[in-house]
Amino acid sequence: MFGSARGSVRDVVFVDGVRTPFGKAKGVYAETRADDLIVRVIRELLRRNPSLPPERVDEVAIAATTQIGDQGLTIGRIAGVLAGLPESVPGYAVDRMCAGAVTAVTTTASSIAVGAYDVAVAGGVEHMGRHPMGEGADLNPRFVAERLVDPAALVMGSTAENVHDRYPAITRARADAYALASQEKVAKAYANGQIQPDLVPMAARHADSGWELVTADEPPRPTTTLAGLAELRTPFRPHGRVTAGNSAGINDGATGCLLAAVEVAAELGLPAKMTLVGYGFAGVAPEVMGVGPIPSTQKALARTGLTIDDIGLFELNEAFAVQVLAFLDHFGIADDDPRVNRYGGAIALGHPLASSGVRLMTQLARQFAEHPEVRYGLTAMCVGLGMGATTVWENPHHDAAGNSAATGGTATATATS
């Protein structure tokens, strides 16, 4: 039987989240180490929350999909030491491909809920320019040779084409329109100053030109047009529907967040930006991995006693436009529903694999503060090799009347869902 020393399961709050600006592979971080990206994030979390004594951090869980080189060797422990946390603070590495940071959050949050930890750092880092997905991996040949999975499962763009096949109503034109909207929403969010508060400036070295202070995401293409998107080639299938324009790029970046038991956050004077209600992971056929968020969301909602109609804000990772649209179609949500990805998504911002989950959470937390009328929100993403990941959160600022609320809101379900 699980429980803290007091015999109860505790509510877990999202205290704060930050990230580096995301870069293009071979771009601004081409000569920057992956571990330096995540160290910068951890240091910023501590700087922004000075009432947290570093020795009160009980765990550092950091995800990376390609755990090799400067993002290998138990990156959570290495990053914690480099960030200046006491040697007594342990750390570990996580790998669930794109949902690595999500898994770091749910695993440490569950440990907080049952009393094993009080405070944890969770996040992810991916330097795809230096470490392409799958580098150094030795996939068992039976995985494909014995037809355990379709060979297309190993090429993410091909899995997206397969999702188009499964959902013929999702045309290339519709995917391109969604991609354009993502670019436009990111540009608007930047203009409104809604993204910048949670970016940590990062010093990037360039051998030929010296140092640069990176303060904004590199991938967005604000001049994108539908006509330009329509001209892009389809590299995964002749006359296909998946292009570089309606997909996330190959990116570098790091994210991190602080999690705490609700009473510990109050004791230390830490903010509570979200309360974890529950989560769900699910598996699907690897060759259509993009549909993964559908069953993971169904599982998360069932376990928390909520319905899709209870969700007031959605942060959906845009690995490909088609997989977001498949999710929206399944749940009867319009492509332009204002609850979905209000600041845009990975098609514009980038998707540094294992780090992206906490970007979704950080953006949701900021939107909760802007929208006290919303009680529940969720983050969801598809995961390579055929999985989905969903987390459900409650807004501690919630006020049914839509007024600003300094307190209020407790989880109706626990982090052990």
Catalogue the active-site residues. 98, 351, 382
Query: In one letter, which amino acid is 20?
Result: T
First to last CA, the chain: 14
> Per-residue DSSP letters for 263-317?
HHHHHHT----EEEEEEEEEE--GGGGGGTHHHHHHHHHHHHT--GGGEEEEEE-
List, in sequence order, every beta strand (DSSP E) within 25-153: 59-63, 91-94, 119-127
Q: Are 93 and 76 in contact (CB under 8 A)?
A: yes
> In whole angstroms, what is the distance from residue 47 CA to residue 85 CA?
12
Beta bridge partners of 251: 24
Q: Distance between CA 241 and CA 179 in Å, rounded?
A: 12
Query: Token pair for residue 298?
Result: 């169904």
Answer yes or no: are the C-beta atoms of 381 and 327 closer than 8 Å.
no
Q: Is 168 exposed, middle or buried (0-12, 13-18, 19+ CB in 10 A)?
A: exposed
User: b vs e for 222-232, b when ≥16 Cβ sit within 10 Å of the residue's Cβ?
Assistant: eebeeeebeeb
Query: How would you classify the pairing of strands 311-316 and 274-283?
Result: unpaired
Instruction: Name the maximum alpha-carbon separation found in the chain.
Output: 62
Helix 156-166 / helix 321-331 crossing angle, nearest 10 deg: 30
DSSP state of 96: B
The number of beta carbons lying within 10 Å of the beta carbon of residue 373 is 14
Amino acid letter for position 250: I
Whole-number Cα distances in Å, 23 to 44, 79, 131, 346 = 18, 20, 14, 12
